[in-house]
Chain A
Amino acid sequence: MAAVAMDSTSPAYHGMIAEFTDPDDILAAARKVRAAGYTHLDAYTPMPVHHLDDAIGFKDTKVQWTIFIAGLLGFAVGFGLQVYVNSIDYPLNVGGRPKLSWPQFIPVAYECTILFAGLAAALAMLAFNGLPRPNHPIFNAPRFELATQTSFFLCVEGTDPNFDHAEVKKLLESLSPVQVSDVFGDEPEGH
Chain B
Amino acid sequence: MAAVEKEEPVALLPSSNKEFLLGNHSYKSIDELLGNIVLDQTSHGKVWFKWLGFGFLFVNVLVASIAWLVYQGIGVWGNNQPVSWGFDIINFVWWIGIGHAGTLISAILLLLRQNWRNSINRFAEAMTLFAVMCAGMYPLLHTGRPWVAYWLFPYPNVLGMWPQFRSPLIWDVFAVSTYFTISIVFWFVGLIPDFATMRDRTVQPAVKKIWGLLAMGWRGSVKHWHRYEAAYLILAGLSTPLVLSVHSIVSFDFAVSIVPGWNVTLFPPYFVAGAVFAGFAMVITFAIPIRKLYHLEEVITMKHLDWMAKIMLATGTIVAYGYLCEVFYAFYSGSRWEQYLIHNRMGGPYSVLYWSLWICNGLAPLFLWSPKVRKNLVALMIISQFVSVGMWLERFVIIPMSLHRDYLPSSWGMYYPTVVDFGMFFGTIGFFIFMMFLFIRFLPMINIFEIKDLLLKLRHEEHHSEADASPVAVGGGE
Chain A interface residues toward B at CB < 8 A:
23-25, 27-28, 31, 42-53, 56, 58-64, 67, 71, 78, 81-82, 85-86, 89-90, 92, 94, 97, 101, 104-105, 107-108, 110-112, 114-115, 117-119, 121-122, 124-126, 128-129, 131-136, 138-139, 145-150
Contact = CB atoms under 8 A, between A and B. Distances in A.
Nearest to A97: B166
B234 A150 contact: no
Interface in B36-91: none
Given A59-B226, A60-B223, A149-B27, A107 B218 contact: no
B212 interface: yes
Nearest to A58: B223
A165 B230 CA distance: 35
Most chain-A Cβ atoms within 10 A of its Cβ — which of B170, B200, B249?
Answer: B200
Contacts of A135: 217
Q: Considering the complex of A and B, which 7 residue pairs feature the smallest CB-CB distances, nearest first?
A: A24-B475, A132-B216, A125-B231, A145-B200, A27-B475, A47-B449, A133-B217
Most chain-B Cβ atoms within 10 A of its Cβ — which of A43, A129, A150?
Answer: A129
Interface in B230-253: 230-232, 234-235, 238-239, 241-242, 245, 249, 252
A133 B220 CA distance: 13
B472 interface: yes
B31 interface: yes
A56 B235 contact: no
Contact of A46 (B160, B171, B220, B245): B220
A81 B154 contact: yes
Given A44-B220, A134-B217, A146-B200, A104 B166 contact: yes
Contacts of B235: 118, 121-122
A56 B228 CA distance: 17
Contacts of A134: 212, 216-217
A5 B189 CA distance: 39
Nearest to B189: A122
A151 B119 CA distance: 22
A82 B249 CA distance: 17
A114 B200 contact: no
Interface in B206-220: 212, 216-220
A23 B199 CA distance: 22
Given A131-B216, A132-B217, A47 B171 contact: no
Interface string B173-193: 011001001100110110001
A31 B182 contact: no
Given A90-B162, A146-B200, 6 more contacts: A46-B452, A49-B225, A111-B175, A114-B238, A122-B231, A125-B231
Given A89-B162, A150-B28, A117 B238 contact: yes
A133 B218 CA distance: 8
A142 B234 CA distance: 35
A25 B220 contact: no
Q: Is the interface of B mostly helix, strand, loop or mixed?
A: helix
B165 A148 contact: no
Given A63-B227, A114-B238, A126-B216, A23 B196 contact: no
A119 B184 CA distance: 10
B164 interface: yes
B411 interface: no
Given A24-B474, A121-B234, A148-B199, A111 B245 contact: yes
Nearest to B197: A148
Given A25-B475, A63-B230, A46 B197 contact: yes
B221 A43 contact: yes
Nearest to A30: B222
Given A107-B171, A117-B234, A122-B185, A148 B200 contact: yes
B197 A150 contact: no
B219 A147 contact: yes
Nearest to A21: B27
A170 to B, nearest CB: 19
Interface string B402-426: 0000000000000000000000000
A114 B241 contact: yes
Contact of A92 (B164, B185, B229): B164
Contact of A58 (B31, B154, B201, B222): B222
Contact of B31 (A104, A124, A126, A149): A149
A129 to B, nearest CB: 5
A151 to B, nearest CB: 9
Most chain-A Cβ atoms within 10 A of its Cβ — which of B164, B174, B185?
Answer: B174
Contact of A119 (B181, B241, B453): B181
Nearest to B246: A111
B245 A107 contact: yes
B456 interface: yes
Contacts of A47: 193, 449-450, 452-453, 456
B476 interface: yes
Nearest to A78: B174
Contacts of B161: 90
Nearest to A110: B245
A97 B226 CA distance: 49
B160 A90 contact: yes
A48 B475 CA distance: 15
17 contacts: A24-B478, A49-B222, A58-B226, A62-B227, A63-B234, A86-B164, A107-B168, A107-B171, A107-B245, A114-B238, A118-B238, A121-B189, A129-B223, A131-B218, A133-B216, A148-B193, A150-B27
A129 B227 contact: yes
A53 B223 contact: yes
B376 interface: no
A105 B165 contact: yes
Nearest to B160: A90
A150 B238 contact: no
B113 interface: no
Contact of B171 (A60, A64, A86, A108): A108
B26 interface: yes
A145 to B, nearest CB: 4
Given A45-B222, A47-B450, A28 B475 contact: yes
Nearest to A74: B178
